[in-house]
Structure 1
Amino acid sequence: MINPELIKKNPELLRENIRKRESNFDVEMLIEKDMKRREIQMKIDSLRHELNIITDKIAELTRKNQDAEELKRKAKEIREEIKKYEEERKSVDNQWQNLILNYPNIVHQSVPEKEPKITKTWGEPKKEEFHIPHWEIGEKLKIMSEEKGAKLSGSGFTVMQGDGALLERALINFMLDTHTKNGYREIFTPYLVREEIMEGTGHLPKFAYDMYQIEKDNLWLIPTAEVTLVNLFRDEIIPEEELTINCVAYSACFRREAGSWGRETRGIIRQHQFNKVELVKISKPEESYDELENLVKDACRILELLNLPYRVVLLPANDMGFSASKTYDIEVWMPGLGKFVEISSCSNCEDFQARRAMIRLRRKSGKVEYAHTLNGSGVAIGRCLAAILENYLQKDGTVKIPEVLRDYTKKSFIGK
């Protein structure tokens, strides 16, 4: 969440942030509730101060064997009044907490307002006439089946089989090997987490509609390993000399895609369950924007090794994720679709998630402050597989396997 002090000290910044994001969040309600809770707390503090004075006078009169009944009645009235205000404060605090947990992160000053900015292009997009969408390739080669996925689970699921399953597994291992060689520590985490863990990264309460919940146990299926990797450091104080921490994890991801379904319904671009390799950094605040650039390079490295054309896009404020201060999307070229498709999103969340999850660092001086968290896909497996099928399709209908994957697949072509 944002620094609560900003509500009092810089409400105009909060208003401007909502304007830039084109959000319908009620900033005035948050400001109003913040003022109300401060007013109630001031009344409680004043009454407690008065009660302390009266209590001391009662003690003094009692020591002198003098009558203190009137003061005792007054003390009782004050205690009842304090109790009343504390109940009111609890109600207002709950409203305030719900509001501030739904307020988006402050946009970094370098982020454009409305138009995305292409910051890098790599490779030459292929436009051969014989290129077709990946689902047609997959069906012809019998390596993926939307029909069987629907048979098992309904729409939005795909079964990978034969060389399709082999290629998916090869990509997972290739990406993990590449990132661990580059200094990331591999971690494998649970797919089911408690509610407060989802809240820590900003996925709850705002995006509950898009998540899968096991209601009986109050557990949630993770939409990304970002949730678990960030929360590994929940309620911890990390010595600054241990930062930056770099983590990588493979996981299955689960999203209802509520409100998005109907777009890209064919193929494996948008699925309710998909595989992804995730990168997370826990950083010092003064180094986090340098680390964001490093994060983007690390994700791009995967596409370069696979020789897949891509571009990097700096997202505008009105298209950024809830928890992010600044985000780059990496988009891979899909010749069968005739367009670039997002395959990774790399974000600096500054201290937004750290405040929610209480992730702090201790300076050498002893000072404790919030760390910064960063996350990015390194990269989405299904979309990468789709991009390989479309970019490496041969005229005879076979698919050439990228050279860097052949040690994993033990073959050079799919379909031969």
Structure 2
Amino acid sequence: MLDIKFVRENQDAVREAMENRNASWDAARFSELDESRREAIQQEEALQAERNTLSKEIGKMMGAGQKDEAEAVKERVRAINDELSGVSARREAVDGELRAMLMSVPNMPDATTPVGADENDNPEVRRWGTPRDFAAEGFEPKAHWDLGPELDIIDFDRGVKLAESRFYVLGGLGARLERALISFMLDQHVARGYKEWWVPALANAATLTGTAQLPKFEGDLFKTTGGLYLIPTAEVQLTNLHAGEVLDASQLPLKYCAFTPCFREEAGSAGRDTRGIIRVHQFSKVEMVKYATPETGFAELEAMVEDAENILQKLELPYRVISLCTGDIGFSSAKTYDLEVWLPCYNDYKEISSCSCCTDFQARRANIKYRDPDSFKGSRYLYTLNGSGLAVGRTMAAVIENYQQPDGTIRVPDALVPYMGGVTVIEPEAVVTA
């Protein structure tokens, strides 16, 4: 959530930022509400001051035996209380409307975030690896949604039978590959200084509000009858681990990671990536989250991107890094890099990780601060960052497609062989072990 004082003092900048983000912003309504709020606060303070003064006078009058005069002043105090009650009610109503307005406004893009309308304006930062030339190898690559069922490691029909469309089942070495990828990713992040957590797959409304999934994106969430929500990402839980807390600067940066199942309605995505395991309702993901100072937040973002890249490099999967423009960054983000892995089925790169610096936007909502007595008095909001490290289903699709062989088998990436119990090749009826 944006700071109301910042918005008040930087209305032109906020207006321009929202235009660049394709977000609606009613500056006139904000100014009207803000002025009404400040007037109400002034009235409250004036009435409270008058009441305090009169209360002291009543005591003096009673001590001097001026009971009639004191009774008249008491009547005025009662009138002030009634008036104060009405003013406070109006101020609270304005406060509520202002908060609701600010809760629906996205974060301010960082100055280094490229200005653009949509995903077509996202500049490429760098590439790593070279996609395989399957034509030179003499065969046509298959999509994972064909190769997976042929090898009996992915079953889409049974996923639909057990739930509905956009669910799938993994069997045999497919299930083992999923588990191997999760363990490999977590081990890599822990080795690079992240603390691993195991967190609930359900979250309450306050937690989801802290990371800005609520109230704006409730339609993308699965809600239980008990009022809890299935989490769309472990970012929700990892970021809120310190909600309402004040950390010491000496603790920062904190680096956390976790594997969780993730659940998304995928509202509004009809017709997009409906085949395969790219865009589904339930998927596995390893998430990275950082808490940092404002001075180090964007440097920590660059490091987080490198941590995500490390996974793809160890798996030897070609990818590129792009910087999301203002019209494409997420609601909470000030700056985002996407990692896109090469998928032969699309003959293109597809997002596999998104790493963002959210500045103090989420920390303000979740009330997460830090103290640094050597630098400033009191406490300040810290910066939060999050990134996929990686989306497991998409990584599996990338492994299946990029490591397929002419005979229809899949070679297991060297980095995953120890996690696959020595299995080096996935084939229909048997496995070849080292």
Q: Classify the TM-score, shorter chain.
A: over 0.9
Which range moved further: 20-29 or 274-283?
A: 20-29
Q: Report sequence identity in percent.
A: 41
Taking the aligned partners of 1:28 and 1:326, their CA distance within structure 2 comes to 27
The answer to whether the 8 Å contact 2:185/2:311 transfers is yes
Instruction: Encode CA deviations 1:347-374: one digit per residue, 9 max, x unaligned.
Output: 0001111111111111033531111110
Instruction: Encode CA deviations 1:118-150: one digit per residue, 9 max, x unaligned.
Output: 111000022424112110111111110111110
Taking the aligned partners of 1:42 and 1:132, their CA distance within structure 2 comes to 70
Taking the aligned partners of 2:373 and 2:87, their CA distance within structure 1 comes to 42
The answer to whether the 8 Å contact 1:30/1:100 transfers is no
Question: Displacement, 1:28?
Answer: 3.1
From 56, 75, 78, the equivalent of 1:76 is 78
* 1:414 is aligned to 2:426: yes
Q: Which residue is equivalent to 1:36?
A: 36
* 1:245 is aligned to 2:254: yes
Runs of 4+ in 1 over 6 A off after TM superposition: none
User: Aligned pairs, how many?
Assistant: 415
Question: Displacement, 1:32?
Answer: 2.4
Name the SS for the 2:417 alignment partner: helix
From 229, 241, 244, the equivalent of 1:220 is 229
**1:103-252 aligned within 5 A:** 103-114=105-116, 115-129=121-135, 130-215=140-225, 217-252=226-261
Instruction: Encode CA deviations 1:84-122: one digit per residue, 9 max, x unaligned.
Output: 111112222211111111111110001111121111100
The answer to whether the 8 Å contact 2:360/2:383 transfers is yes
Taking the aligned partners of 1:18 and 1:269, their CA distance within structure 2 comes to 30
TM-score of the superposed pair, with normalisation by structure 2: 0.93
Name the SS for the 2:373 alignment partner: coil
* 1:26 is aligned to 2:35: no
Question: Displacement, 1:252?
Answer: 0.3
Name the SS for the 1:332 alignment partner: strand
Taking the aligned partners of 1:164 and 1:206, their CA distance within structure 2 comes to 36
The answer to whether the 8 Å contact 2:301/2:356 transfers is yes
Q: Which residue is equivalent to 2:310?
A: 301
Question: Displacement, 1:31?
Answer: 3.1
* 1:271 is aligned to 2:280: yes
* 1:404 is aligned to 2:415: yes
Taking the aligned partners of 1:203 and 1:32, their CA distance within structure 2 comes to 27
The answer to whether the 8 Å contact 2:200/2:237 transfers is yes
From 379, 385, 409, the equivalent of 2:390 is 379
Taking the aligned partners of 1:87 and 1:33, their CA distance within structure 2 comes to 14
TM-score of the superposed pair, with normalisation by structure 1: 0.97
* 1:45 is aligned to 2:45: yes
Which range moved further: 80-89 or 122-131?
A: 122-131
Taking the aligned partners of 2:42 and 2:332, their CA distance within structure 1 comes to 32
Name the SS for the 1:307 alignment partner: coil
From 239, 261, 264, the equivalent of 2:270 is 261
Taking the aligned partners of 2:309 and 2:34, their CA distance within structure 1 comes to 43
The answer to whether the 8 Å contact 1:105/1:322 transfers is yes
Taking the aligned partners of 1:28 and 1:106, their CA distance within structure 2 comes to 19
Instruction: Encode CA deviations 1:147-178: one digit per residue, 9 max, x unaligned.
Output: 11100110110101111111111000000111
Name the SS for the 2:134 alignment partner: coil
The answer to whether the 8 Å contact 1:7/1:34 transfers is no
